[in-house]
Amino acid sequence: MSLSIQVKLNGESRAIDLDDPRVTLLDLLRERLELTGTKKGCDRGQCGACTVLVDGRRVNACLTLAASIDGATVETIEGVADGPVLHPVQQAFIDHDGFQCGYCTPGQIMSAIGLLREARVHGDPERVREQMSGNLCRCGAYAGIVEAVLEAERVTVGQRERGAA
């Protein structure tokens, strides 16, 4: 049974034929669309390595059926930079050593972007840790991740305030 879906993927409208309606968003992204930045970790929704944004909300792509995103806007790590200019969260991860091996980094970055869009963390490290708790890092780069999210919040809030003035 074949199924067609329409999505806006990283800013580009796409029509996608699904050969199997049971395929996950993660497998569609990695295997079919060759967007391999989204990582397959536990494949059970427990590690957050597969975090992407669907209609601006953080989701575990391993638990999301591709068929369920018909008409949605999907953002992956491949779509967050503006050409050679990194997204403020990406830059903050570099500046604050928010990664070690890098495997969880795309999911961490996507979760941080979603978090900052959802609500400000108001410079509160505990709030960042709580809101990012669904993303695990086996290397233990949590201190750098928290600092990166706080820095990205300062940068993005500053950009919004300058833009509104």
pLDDT digits (tens, 9 = 90+) for 121-133: 889 999 999 999 9
pLDDT of residue 164: 57
Which pair of tokens denotes residue 107?
A: 């999911």
Does residue 43 register a pLDDT over 70? yes
108/141 Cα distance (integer angstroms)? 11
Strands 3-9 and 51-54: unpaired
Per-residue pLDDT averaged across 102-122, rounded? 93
133/20 Cα distance (integer angstroms)? 32
Per-residue pLDDT averaged across 19-26, rounded? 96
High-pLDDT (> 90) share of the chain, %: 85
pLDDT of residue 83: 94
pLDDT of residue 115: 95
Using alpha carbons, select from 30, 20, 82 the residue that is nearest to residue 52: 30
- Bridge partners for 65 per DSSP: 24
Burial bucket for residue 124 (CB in 10 Å: 0-12, 13-18, 19+): middle
pLDDT tens figures, 49-94 = 999 999 999 999 999 999 999 999 999 999 999 999 999 999 999 9
**How much is the mean pLDDT over the chain?**
94
Using alpha carbons, select from 32, 51, 33, 56 the residue that is nearest to residue 114: 56
- Which domains are assigned to the chain? 3-79 (3.10.20.30), 88-164 (1.10.150.120)
Q: What is the pTM of this model?
A: 0.92
CA dihedral 31, 35, 41, 46 (to 10 degrees): -110
Say if CB 89 and CB 149 are below 8 A apart: yes
